[in-house]
Amino acid sequence: MKNYKTQLLSLCMLFIIFSCTSDDISDVATVEDEDEEVAVVIDDTDFEAIDWTSDTHSKDADPDFDEVFEDNAIKRLDFVISEERWQTMLTDMTNLYGTFGGTSNGPGGGGFGGTTVDIDEDPIFVPGEVFYEGKEWYRVGLRFKGNSSLKSSWESGILKLSFKLDFDEFEDDYPQIKNQRFYGFKKLSLKNNYNDKSMLREKVATDVFRSAGLAASHTAFYALYVDHGDGPEYFGVYTLVEEVDDTVLEDQFSSDEGNLYKPDGDAASFANGTFDEDEYVKKNNEDEADFSDVQSLLTILHDGTRTTDAATWRTNLDAVLDTDVFLKYLAVNTVIQNWDTYGRMTHNYFLYNNPDTNKLTWIPWDNNEALQTGNQQGALSLNFSELSASSWPLIGYLYQDDVYKAKYDAYVKEAAEGAFNETTMQALYTSYASLIEDYATTEIDGYSFLNSGSDFQPAVNTLKTHVTSRNAAVSSYLGE
């Protein structure tokens, strides 16, 4: 009897396989009989995208920032991932980072608080369904994302992990979703507010950059629920972040055709002798082996005219780097305190060669560690007294130049009086805390970085104290 049943199940499996194209075979389930398990291919390609509309799902729709990135709301997203695919994601994470809630068996060692993890491959994408405001998005590419934050969350046994969403990642397998978008967005990051008991820092820091007139991602609060086989589970308060290589360039520059880099590694410091094409990671134009723009920046930055003919050095540097943008970014970043980026860490920024100016332009990224003194060596002081200029020359060399220092000082004053002024920030913290408090304080153990709901308000109060202290620090630095 056993052989007959096994043969019958095997024949059924073969029939399914040979009656589908290779693209149709997209999932595998396990069918159990009383004697053994037999793998059976499940075809999940036969569906109709009944919720598809031009405005909500089509590539032809302009990005709807008001809908997706509403400041004064916390909206709900639901992911539905089959049990088999969820297990595949967890198994992949185990292979990368070790046992969930245990010690990593991958490279990089322990890394709480921003230590870079040297793992070259991202977690895998799987297709899942995304539900929002009663509408479904189909076979969306979903994967876990992050670096040290992902590793630390995993090792700590916290399933509130960040996600990357790509809405047409699997369009070759599912033709029904060709060029699928989420209100005009192809890719989005859903950040887990790692190591942030206020759950506000990612959003507020980005708000400040944008308020200061810098190119930066839109952000919004979302409550995430994930159904991976047993019904929806509350994963907690997340911050949805616009992807730089998706709509930031299209929306905030006149063209998205310039080179976009996400430097990571020694070359990201721009220290002399560190140039390495592999570490100036291209996010577009990958087939064009042209890194002359970043190479020119490094060459000019270290040219001898810096100390012998400063005016010529500045003219040449201004021709390849938008120094005004960088100095404004540097001022804002240092006023608010943000240690997990350039000046301390060789990551967490983009460089875009703006076609309008042919200059590399600085774009901040990944701000969950901002608005605090920080880990590792802590955030840089306003006068960079602890910084090695040769190790971080984009800061050190520009600050040593009187003309650039004067511009930096002016931007410090502007940031403290404008985008990060105390009155505005205290009101913003109060407003956002009120908005998310009920969601934050009801996060579930194992899906939260809070020890209890009572951790939330003290963390918000710490942010309020921080803005007061930073305004005082600016006054002291400027001698006011």
Tokens for 374?
A: 């920080």
- What single letter denotes the amino acid at residue 308? T
Do the domain assignments include residue 454? no
pLDDT score, position 3: 41
- pTM of the predicted model, to two decimals? 0.89
Q: Are residues 215 and 302 in the same domain?
A: no
Give the DSSP H/E element, type plus range, for residue 280: strand 280-282
Map tokens 């998310």 to a residue.
436
- Number of CB atoms found within 10 A of residue 105's CB: 11
Q: Are residues 264 and 163 in the same domain?
A: no
Do the domain assignments include residue 474? no
pLDDT score, position 94: 97
CA distance 1 to 18: 26
pLDDT score, position 19: 38
Of 417, 445, 460, which marks where a domain is finished?
417
Do the domain assignments include residue 7? yes
Of 250, 284, 299, which marks where a domain is finished?
250
CA distance 75 to 133: 9
Q: Are residues 231 and 274 in the same domain?
A: no
Q: Are residues 90 and 188 in the same domain?
A: yes
Q: Are residues 32 and 97 in the same domain?
A: no
Of 222, 201, 397, the closest CA to residue 314 belongs to 397
CA distance 264 to 346: 6
pLDDT score, position 42: 59
Q: Are residues 16 and 71 in the same domain?
A: no
Do the domain assignments include residue 463? no
Of 468, 138, 435, the closest CA to residue 335 belongs to 468
Do the domain assignments include residue 469? no
Of 280, 223, 255, the closest CA to residue 435 belongs to 223
Q: Are residues 38 and 101 in the same domain?
A: no
- Chain length of the chain: 480
Decide if 272 contacts 393 (C-beta within 8 A). yes
- Which residues are CB-neighbours of 129 under 8 A, at least 6 positions away? 79, 80, 81, 136, 137, 138, 139, 140
Give the three-state DSSP class for 151.
helix
The alpha carbon dihedral of 333, 339, 340, 344 has a sign of positive
Do the domain assignments include residue 438? no
CA distance 4 to 20: 25
Can you count the helices (H) and strands (E) in the chain? 15, 13
Q: Are residues 406 and 386 in the same domain?
A: yes
Q: Are residues 63 and 36 in the same domain?
A: no
CA distance 114 to 344: 10
Do the domain assignments include residue 341? yes
Do the domain assignments include residue 453? no
Of 391, 417, 443, which marks where a domain is finished?
417
Taking only the tens place, the pLDDT of each residue in 424-461 is 999 999 999 999 999 999 999 999 999 999 999 999 99
Domain containing residue 156: 54-250
Q: Are residues 180 and 62 in the same domain?
A: yes
Taking only the tens place, the pLDDT of each residue in 350-384 is 999 999 999 999 999 999 999 999 988 899 999 99
What is the total count of domains within the chain? 3
Q: Are residues 171 and 106 in the same domain?
A: yes
Decide if 413 contacts 478 (C-beta within 8 A). yes
- Ranges of residues in the chain with a pLDDT under 70 are 1-42, 103-120
Give the DSSP H/E element, type plus range, for residue 324: helix 323-336
DSSP per-residue string spanning 406-466: HHHHHHHHHHHHTTT-HHHHHHHHHHHHHHHHHHHTTPPTTS-S-SSGGGHHHHHHHHHHH
Q: Are residues 381 and 408 in the same domain?
A: yes
